[in-house]
Structure 1
Amino acid sequence: MGWGALRLYTLLVYGFMFLPVGVVVLLSFNASQFGSFPMTGFSFRWFVELAQNDAILRAFRTSLILGALTALISTTLGVLASLALVRYRVPGENYISTLLIAPILVPEVVLAVALLLFLNFLEVNKSFTLLLLGHVIFTLPFVILVVQARLVSIRRDIEEAAQSLGASPVQTFFQITLPLMMPAVLAGALFAFTISFDDITGTLFWKPGGVETVPTQIFSMLRNSISPEINALGTVMIVMTVGLPLLGLALARALAIRSGG
Structure 2
Amino acid sequence: MIAPSDGTGRWGWRLTCAMTLLVYIFMFAPIAATVVLSFNASMFGGFPITGFSFHWYEVLMQNENVLSAFRTSLWIALLTAMLTTMVGVAAALALVRFEFPGKASVNTLAILPALVPETILGVGLLVLIKAIDQPRTYLLLLAGHILLALPFVVLVIQARLIGIRRVYEEAALSLGAPRGSTFREITLPLLMPAVFASALLAFTISFDNTTASLFWRPAGVETMPTQILSMLKVSISPEVNALGTLMIVITVGVPLLGGIVAKALSGLKKRQPQMGD
Q: Same fold (TM over 0.5)?
A: yes
Q: Distance in 2 between matches of 1:109 and 1:127?
A: 19
Q: Distance in 2 between matches of 1:59 and 1:228?
A: 18
Within the candidate set 94, 97, 119, 1:109 is matched to 119
Give yes or no for the alignment of 1:17 onto 2:2: no
Q: Tell me the CA shift for residue 210 of structure 1.
A: 1.8
Q: Are 2:197 and 1:187 equivalent residues in the alignment?
A: yes
Equivalent in 153, 157, 168 of residue 163 of structure 2 = 153
Give the Cα separation in 1 of the matches to 2:68 and 2:51.
30
- Per the normalisation by structure 1, the TM-score is 0.97
In structure 1, list runs of 5 or more residues that go unmatched.
none
Answer whether contact 2:39 2:238 (CA < 8 A) is retained.
no
Instruction: Give deviations 1:220-247, integer Å, cap 9, x for gaps.
Output: 1111222211000000000000000100
- The code of the aligned residue for 1:257 comes to G
Deviation at 1:61, TM superposition (A): 0.4
1:219 maps to which residue? 229
The answer on whether the counterparts of 2:114 and 2:151 sit within 8 Å (CA) in structure 1 is yes
CA distance in 2, matches of 1:226, 1:162: 61
CA shift at 1:10, angstroms?
A: 1.1
In the alignment, which of 39, 46, 49 is matched to residue 49 of structure 2?
39
> Residue 255 of structure 2 aligns with which residue?
245
1:67 aligns to 2:72 (yes or no) = no
Q: 1:167 aligns with which of 170, 177, 183?
A: 177
- Matched to 2:194, the amino acid is A
TM-superposed CA distance for 1:156, in Å, is 0.4
Segment drifting more, 251-260 vs 34-43: 34-43
Counterpart code for 1:121: A
Is 2:152 the partner of 1:142?
A: yes
TM-score (norm 2): 0.92
AA partner of residue 143 (structure 1): V
Deviations 1:29-66 (A, max 9, x none): 00111123231110000001111111100000000000
How far has the Cα of 1:122 moved from its partner? 2.1
Percent identity between matched residues is: 57
Give the superposition deviation at 1:193.
Answer: 0.5
Q: Using the TM superposition, name which of 161-170 and 246-255 deviates more.
A: 161-170
- Alpha-carbon offset, residue 111 of structure 1: 0.5
User: In the aligned structure 2, how far is the partner of 1:211 from the partner of 1:37?
Assistant: 33
- How far apart in 2 are the matches of 1:258 and 1:193? 24
The whole-number CA distance in structure 2 between the counterparts of 1:68 and 1:80 is 19
1:119 alignment partner in structure 2? 129
Q: Residues of 2 paired with 1:209 and 1:186: CA distance?
A: 33
2:16 aligned to 6, 12, 18, which one? Answer: 6
Alpha carbons 2:38, 2:56 under 8 Å: kept: yes
- Whole-angstrom distance in 2 between the partners of 1:185 and 1:126: 31
Q: Deviations along 1:63-109, whole A, 9 cap, x unmatched?
A: 00000011111111110000000001121111111111111111110
| Count of residues in correspondence between the two structures | 261
1-structure distance, mates of 2:241, 2:109: 39
CA distance in 1, matches of 2:129, 2:181: 40
Letter in 2 for 1:164: S
Name the structure 2 match of 1:92. Answer: 102
